Amino acid sequence: MKTDTGPTWQKQASAIFSGFFGDWLEARNNPLALPMEIYHGQGPLDCLAPRAAAPGSTLCLSIHGLMELESVWSFPGLAGVSYGSRLAERSGDITPLALRYNSGRPIYRNGQALANLLEELVSAWPVPVERVILIGHSMGGLLIRSACHYGGLKAHGWTERLSDCVYIGSPHDGSWLAKGAMAAADSMRKLPRDYLRVVGEVIDLRSEGICNLSRGDVLAGHDDEPPLLCGTRHYVVCGLLARAESHPLNALFGDALVQESSARGKERKGWSLAGTARFPGIDHIRLAHHAGVADQLEDWLL
């Protein structure tokens, strides 16, 4: 297994640039376009020949969101502690993994790539894989749904082992911020002043991944909306800005980026969730590394 030794600032810069312009960077073979890799510990795995010190029969993969890295899962001040590591500590048969990917690519393309990568990893894992758990933050939850769809289409073996999907602050019905950016760009392009139209065109340079967030798109083109994968338990975690649940901020902005109704997928058809949890006073980013959320995941998954 390789060790990721690059400077932190450089990796974070790549994540931000990939989020904004990832599809553009990839088309030009720019090194700032992050490749999709599965990490264990401090380095990426070779999914065709994975090596882990004590491989378990359960794989728990955590998937970050837009312009993030796998470091978003790390608890502040607690080196090496994440949702995956806590689950592994309480169940010795779980191997915690994390995905790093170019979040500016269209979600469906990342979903196809993740489905294939998981199939390679599960097939080559040193011990038989009995269970797969997927945990997604923000865009990561949409990526889970996309990968499940494309993995199911190809009859991938990992989908039969997928026991649980957890969507943490994921904009299934779109993010109000991404919707606002789209509306602002459309409005400014229609204005009579040239310089205002230019501002609209600049806003519209955002990546395809960001555009997908405005609608919660997980498939290519106008394909029908995929149902949640059958035979798998699906859980939703929502955050709210204010501690008082009735505070108007919560209704307007949810966790700051995703409204509660979108996180719950209220507009999705035929959804059946195994569990939901809401956390007043916990914003979008802190949902990825909060003790209360960790306790809830342990109740659901162990």
CATH number at residue 242: 3.40.50.1820
Q: H-helix or E-strand containing 40? A: strand 37-40
Q: 173: phi > 0 → left, psi -120 to 50 → alpha, else beta; which? A: alpha
| Strands 162-168 and 233-240, sheet pairing | parallel
Q: Are the beta carbons of 113 and 88 closer than 8 angstroms?
A: no
Cβ atoms < 10 Å from Cβ of 201: 12
| pTM score over 0.85 | yes
**DSSP assignment letter at 7:** -
Answer whether residue 123 is part of any domain.
yes
Identify the sign of the CA torsion 169, 289, 139, 129: negative
Widest CA span in the chain: 64
Answer whether residue 223 is part of any domain.
yes
**Residue 122 C-alpha from the chain's centroid:** 20
Report the half-sphere exposure of 210 (CA within 13 A, side-chain side).
Answer: 23
- What is the domain count for the chain? 1
Beta bridge partners of 165: 134, 234
Mean pLDDT, contiguous 10-residue spans, the chain (302 residues): 64 78 81 89 94 95 95 95 97 96 94 98 98 98 97 97 98 74 45 39 58 87 81 98 93 92 93 97 97 98 98
Answer whether residue 254 is part of any domain.
yes
Answer whether residue 151 is part of any domain.
yes
Cβ atoms < 10 Å from Cβ of 96: 26
- Please give the residue range of the domain that contains residue 156: 8-179+205-301
Q: Are the beta carbons of 138 and 68 closer than 8 angstroms?
A: yes
First to last CA, the chain: 28
Which pLDDT does position 7 carry in this prediction?
Answer: 64
Burial of 3 (0-12, 13-18, 19+ CB in 10 A): exposed
SS3 70: helix
Cα–Cα distance, 254 to 171 (Å, whole number) = 11
Q: Amino acid identity of 115?
A: A
Answer whether residue 191 is part of any domain.
no
Answer whether residue 200 is part of any domain.
no
Answer whether residue 187 is part of any domain.
no
| Strands 37-40 and 94-100, sheet pairing | antiparallel
Which residue, chain included where needed, has tokens 């009735």? 246
Cα–Cα distance, 258 to 251 (Å, whole number) = 10
SS3 141: helix
Tokens coding 214: 């405005």
Answer whether residue 28 is part of any domain.
yes
